[in-house]
Structure 1
């Protein structure tokens, strides 16, 4: 199967096809020049699409996802030549911005100000909120630009400096509510109904209109089986994770524990 056919089969739409074409280019750059080659920072959905392409290509090694810290949401896909085992740590760095007034801003405030500097979303990794500021994961060249040019967000004036190392990052533990329920089966619509606190019919409608993703990939089938560890997201409702599945009750229902993230 040639490149065009494989991209057509793997991508879910034209935008995703363009993304996967760029991923393919990075793979070829690594193979032809025998040097590491990295994509921009990818969202979880983009990472899932890239992983589908890698699986279709039969790649089980020779690449890594890197976001600056364990559990990073936005990560770069780095293709590795055979002489290299892991991405270089210095290929990702971070800056810290602090509001001079000591006030705190939102993630949207900081992201909007970064976009106003002419940066694209792919050049920015996770934005970690801190008391009175934030930490932003970026490539080294972008970090230099931010230290020199990023001086405000919203109505707040900023002081920006490079972090000495990625060990200085301070990611916050995710906040979630634990939901315990029982379901007749591990169908997606039933688990989503329990996880988001909506009726099964409403969950099925959301799935059929393409609003629900399983492990960051759109799923249109309400009867899709899910398993412990699967991440379910829905536009407007948020995100939940099927944490565990217990043994059937006397009535044949399955106890489940779900983490619903705020």
Structure 2
């Protein structure tokens, strides 16, 4: 398995992996994780069983604290201050009073022994079995579109006009699955992730079929 890879790195690698025809999966510690580990699957292991197998390279811990709310930057800074590599840390899921930290299995003991504070707060650490997907922090938007073009989904997800959406794409403000996309007519698929600079991230979480008026019903998750 690899270390944690970014969404962009995984997008670049996928065509090469398909050419290799080697069985693989990606796992980031929870459904919808942005950063994930690439795992080449041995004959005896099926992708859906990785999470509960000894081959799972990912571990989770919860850092709890009291006082002022800490940010993603506070926790990432504290982890990097331990001297570990960024590639050994996956997503950080921030909640009120705690942060769920996803790390590679091999660095878990070191983090448990050495991570004692973040920002100005002392931390209490515990190993956990699972965490809520990041969608817990997303808002669900239901809409209909004429097609699954990028500009149509951007318009629906960010609730801006189709013209503004197309202009944002053409001027390089939109990335699709971690890569800049300049084509407003690019067809999307369920699960695609979009970032519009200055307005955050959305994900095309479901394509529900056609409405009575012949439009495509979609569900979009938007980070709030």
Report the TM-score, using the length of structure 1 for normalisation: 0.69
The structure-2 alpha-carbon separation of the partners of 1:68 and 1:89, relative to structure 1 and needing over 3 Å to count, comes to farther
Q: Supply the distance in 2 between the matched residues of 1:95 and 1:247 (Cα, whole angstroms).
A: 43
* Runs of at least 5 residues in structure 2 that lack an aligned partner in the other structure: none
SS in 2 for 1:39: coil
Question: Between Structure 1 and Structure 2, whose CA radius of gyration is higher?
Answer: 1
Q: How many Å separate the matches in 2 of 1:155 and 1:58?
A: 48
Question: Partner residue of 1:127?
Answer: 92
**Would you say 1:44 and 2:7 are equivalent positions?**
yes
The residue that corresponds to 1:201 in the other structure is 163
String of CA shifts for 1:87-123, please: whole Å, max 9, x gaps. Answer: 5345322232222x35542222211221222233211
Kept in 1, the 8 Å contact 2:169–2:184? The answer is yes
Counterparts of 1:20-39 in structure 2, within 5 Å, are 38-39=1-2
Give yes or no for contact 1:92–1:140 (8 Å, CA) kept in 2. Answer: yes
TM-score, with length taken from structure 2: 0.79
Q: Is the 8 A contact 1:248 1:255 kept in 2?
A: no
Alpha-carbon deviation of 1:54? 0.7
Q: Which has the higher contact order (CA 8 A, sep 6+)?
A: 2
Contact 2:67-2:121 at 8 Å conserved across structures: no
The match for 1:232 is 194
Structure 1 residues 196-205 or 77-86, which shifts more? 77-86
1:93 to 42, 45, 59: 59
**Secondary structure in structure 2 of the residue aligned to 1:160:** strand
- State the distance in 1 between where 2:58 and 2:190 align: 32
Partner residue, 2:129: 166
**Aligned: 1:223 with 2:189:** no
| Deviation sequence 1:68-100 (CA, Å, 0-9, x none) | 33443321001234465565345322232222x
Unaligned 5+ residue runs, structure 1?
1-37
What RMSD, in angstroms, separates the aligned Cα atoms of the two structures?
2.8
More strand by share: 2
Residue 117 to residue 260, structure 1, CA distance change in 2 (3 Å): same
Q: Structure 1 residue 180 and structure 2 residue 119: aligned?
A: no
Cα shift readout 1:147-203 (whole Å, capped 9, x = no counterpart): 222121111122334x1x524x454634213242443x4332233122212233322
